[in-house]
């Protein structure tokens, strides 16, 4: 297989992906000092090597997925749907312990000794499934009752399995689905009904969690507290993180203190993942932070171009859905660091230190590049 076949696709998007990934080594290496010296006593070099291996495997996944004709994703989504349900149910019932705290959104993979966040895989599966469904039906004529079993039942099943342990991921996935429904021309009157049903379910869930707190996972207390105490000092953990993230951004000023010279990285938990954008601004300034935002904006426009040029409905919806998922996650992470929204625990795609989340981002980008590759091939042919 030639190099030309491997890199065939939207080269501008590929350059953006490579730039974000290469830049990530600076803040990951710098911010890992908190984990190294405060948590486990290892060397920051360990986390740099780990990040390199994660990205290397992620790129291998991306290019491998890109070589699969994207029409095959339709059948794959049907096969993977029940597997996703089983994984989410198992994760919710078992979970694991990360850094000494309950983390019911993760499961251990004993053979390789890593933890896996099943909601990241579930997001790719359900987005692909929804794209397949929307590409098959006539949205102008469809009745609401016809969408309940094939569309809304699997969507709400996935969301409800993710919600108790990971509110932010459930919200991110559902928001992405709503946006692709809107873009695809799903009847607005049907979406109003879904919003009413969703509000009823969330209200009931909230009331049950407040009335019978002992019957629900510990993570529910965490996200209820974060939402209720947003912009207040009552939630000490969240306010501690946000205040230090703001101090890091303030320290950075226009041009930053320099690579590796962050002060707040040693005082900010999750500085290499959830709050990595604050460290980027502290070390590279508003200019550095703006460049990162610009790269995500450029990624958004390239995804729009691929969506516009895709020849079939499935390709268009798939690219827009996966692209929206990645970009919402990116701007959610940035919004948390700048105190626009409550703390969520979402990574910055292609930059934050992580494993399963980075791999699922690479898989999503591989699927997008697969669609763009088919466009290029048809033009050349």
Instruction: Express each pLDDT in 278-321 by its tens digit.
Output: 999 999 999 999 999 999 999 999 999 999 998 889 999 999 99
* pLDDT for res 264: 83
pTM of the prediction? 0.86
Domain that holds residue 81: 3-380
* pLDDT for res 37: 63
Q: How many distinct structural domains can be found in the chain?
A: 1
Mean pLDDT, to the nearest integer, of 183-188? 88
* Mean pLDDT taken over the chain: 82
* pLDDT for res 96: 46
Instruction: Express each pLDDT in 70-90 by its tens digit.
Output: 999 999 999 999 999 998 988
Instruction: Express each pLDDT in 203-258 by its tens digit.
Output: 887 777 667 666 555 555 555 555 555 555 555 555 777 888 888 889 888 898 98
Q: Name the phi and psi angles at 97, rounded to 5.
A: -110, 125
* pLDDT for res 222: 56
What whole-number distance in Å separates Cα of residue 210 and Cα of residue 16?
45
Cα 32-60-284 angle, rounded to 5 deg: 35
Q: Residues 101-137, buried b or exposed e (16+ Cβ, 10 A)?
A: eebbbbbeeeeeeebbbbbbbbbbbbbbbbbbbbbeb
pLDDT band at 338 (very low <50, low <70, confident <90, very high): confident
**Closest by alpha carbon to 348, among 270, 284, 258?**
270
- Tell me 265's DSSP state: G
Mean pLDDT, to the nearest integer, of 172-177? 92
Residue entry with tokens 């699922």 = 360
């Amino acid at each position: 297989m030639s190099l030309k076949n491997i890199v065939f696709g939207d080269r501008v998007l590929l350059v953006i992906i490579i730039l974000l990934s290469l830049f990530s080594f600076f803040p990951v290496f710098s911010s890992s000092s908190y984990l190294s010296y405060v948590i486990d006593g290892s060397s920051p070099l360990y986390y740099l090597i780990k990040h390199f291996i994660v990205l290397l495997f992620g790129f291998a996944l991306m290019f491998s997925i890109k070589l699969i004709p994207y029409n095959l994703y339709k059948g794959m989504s049907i096969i993977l749907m029940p597997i996703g349900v089983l994984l989410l149910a198992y994760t919710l019932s078992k979970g694991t312990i990360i850094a000494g705290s309950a983390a019911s959104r993760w499961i251990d993979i004993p053979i390789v000794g890593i933890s896996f966040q099943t909601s990241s895989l579930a997001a790719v599966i359900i987005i692909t499934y929804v794209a397949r469904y929307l590409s098959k039906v006539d949205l102008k004529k469809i009745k609401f009752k016809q969408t309940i079993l094939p569309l809304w039942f699997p969507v709400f099943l996935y969301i409800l399995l993710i919600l108790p342990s990971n509110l932010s991921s459930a919200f991110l996935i559902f928001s992405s689905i709503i946006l692709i429904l809107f873009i695809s021309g799903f009847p607005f009157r049907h979406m109003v009904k879904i919003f009413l049903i969703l509000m009823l379910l969330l209200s009931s869930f909230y009331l049950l969690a407040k009335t019978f707190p002992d019957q629900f996972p510990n993570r529910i207390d965490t996200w209820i507290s974060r939402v209720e105490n947003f912009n207040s000092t009552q939630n000490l953990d969240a306010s501690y993180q946000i205040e230090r993230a703001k101090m890091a951004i303030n320290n950075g000023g226009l041009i930053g203190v320099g690579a590796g010279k962050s002060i707040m990285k040693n005082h900010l938990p999750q500085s290499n993942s959830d709050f990595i954008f604050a460290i980027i601004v502290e070390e590279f300034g508003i200019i550095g932070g703006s460049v990162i935002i610009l790269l995500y904006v450029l990624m958004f426009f390239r995804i729009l171009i691929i969506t516009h040029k895709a020849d079939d409905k499935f390709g268009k919806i798939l690219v827009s859905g996966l692209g929206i998922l990645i970009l919402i996650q990116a701007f959610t992470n940035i919004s948390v660091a700048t105190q626009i929204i409550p703390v969520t625990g979402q990574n910055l795609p292609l930059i934050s230190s992580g494993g399963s989340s980075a791999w699922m981002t690479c898989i999503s980008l591989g699927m997008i590049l697969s669609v763009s590759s088919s466009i290029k091939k048809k033009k050349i042919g």
